[in-house]
Structure 1
């Protein structure tokens, strides 16, 4: 758009220069002053119109002082004299008196300059470029700070491997979904030859066995125990007891400390939870260690899995 506007302005400027030249050539000594005044007025009006059109096109993006650079004047074409010569800056009237050509004339531009007028960046483009540079700087700084932070996932994994060796354990990875706690308990119970039927507060026949997946049976066992012993759990729950039990039994809601306690009690077995910092959280049933003194072993991760907290099953490593 700016190139088209400037091209039209150059054309109008050349046409006005030709008119002025013709007027001054035909002016007599008596009419010269009036012709000059008229020419000055025409020049002024044309320039004001050009400035107005450029400002209207650019709007707020036009910076102060840029109009003079964008209003492009063209030199008048040299007018041939009777002898066939041409002059760039002077003409003579019919008395032989030299008169000046309109001050619209400027130094001729090269073909490359006239065909490709310079474009100055607008304030809006400058703001966008500055904003992009600021965002890049912020991202670079964040990446630098992140690179200097400790790799918690790697640290946790290294610590876990040391603890596995210390206690003679090997890990079976459990699928990282909302059922990982219950799947890990089910895997432990199966590996140790213990059934999934609760020793205390049995589930209903529909919830116990059948085609129900093992982790669903463990969920049902935890839900049934919590339902039968609501007074033990209700003070520690964020949701109402009935709603919490429904989530344990019927959804993929993650399990935690309260569900582990319910499972330890209903299965009558100790559950050992090995954590990344090397501590072991032992959850005891009501009386001693139950059928299996050593109990079940689970690995609890805070950072090792993308979905968040996670439980894996731990089994005794074979003796070499």
Structure 2
């Protein structure tokens, strides 16, 4: 969600194969739903002693000013170091929540469009579960969330947890708690997805320091 200029890093990821063009997104999302992964279990064990804050879905709040945002970022970095965690840097183009989730699910942040589509579908099909948390017209909210670059919020995090049967764990810069867990409704989670949350500013994908993927340099294209 790091849409504040000068505060974000760029990322690129490896690609995965998909099916035919017309059904590419549904096939990709379907594959991960039926193929549980436990990539977050080791992080869960590492932070099992921490108390988590109960999650309440909500739309985005006020973005902190630069002073508070800088203090929050220092807090987050200190917490990552304390627990031996590292961030896979996600591009700050308005899609960072969906990119971070895509990296955790697909190991490819570029599949954020698949994640956004699945989340919006969840929000639309199960409206009664979410509309009470949205203070604006729900159809307007859905229309906004369909757009690439629209910031994800804590409602979309809940919808993602529900859609992918995942427990989403946020290591945050909040001062009163450092861990928030978003659990799916009515089903036991089949995977854990770990994100860092520089509160109200940006999401990154989390790994144990020793497991952090190597960022691949983007190729330069020269014009002659």
Classify the TM-score, shorter chain: 0.5 to 0.7
Tell me, which stretches of 5 or more residues in structure 1 are unaligned?
A: 1-149, 197-212, 303-307
Greater helix share, structure number: 1
Once the two structures are superposed, residues 257-283 of structure 1 have per-residue CA deviations (whole angstroms, 9 ceiling, x without a partner) of 000000000000100111113521100
Say if 2:170 and 2:179, in contact at 8 Å, map to a contact too.
yes
Does structure 1 conserve the Cα–Cα contact (< 8 Å) formed by 2:102 and 2:112? yes
1:317 alignment counterpart: 209
Give the 3-state SS of the residue equivalent to 1:311 in structure 2. Answer: strand
TM alignment of 1:1-320, pairs within 5 A: 151-191=67-107, 213-276=110-173, 277=175, 278-287=177-186, 290-292=189-191, 295-302=192-199, 309-318=201-210
| Unmatched segments (≥5 aa) in structure 2 | 1-65, 212-224
Cα shift at 1:228: 0.7
TM-score by length of 2: 0.58
CA distance in 2, matches of 1:312, 1:190: 14
Q: Which has the larger Rg?
A: 1
Q: Distance in 2 between matches of 1:151 and 1:270?
A: 32
Question: 2:133 & 2:167 partners in 1: Cα distance?
Answer: 21
In 1, distance between residues paired with 2:80 and 2:207? 10
The aligned length equals: 144
Give the distance between the partners of 1:247 and 1:317, measured in 2 at CA: 35
TM-score, normalised by the number of residues in structure 1: 0.41
CA distance in structure 2 between the aligned counterparts of 1:166 and 1:269, rounded to whole angstroms: 25
- Report the CA distance shift for 1:236/1:151 in structure 2 as closer, same or farther (over 3 A): closer
Evaluate the alpha carbon distance shift between residue 190 and residue 316 of structure 1 in structure 2; reply closer, same or farther with a 3 A threshold.
farther
Q: Structure 1: which 4+ aligned runs deviate by more than 4 Å?
A: none
1:314 positional shift: 1.0
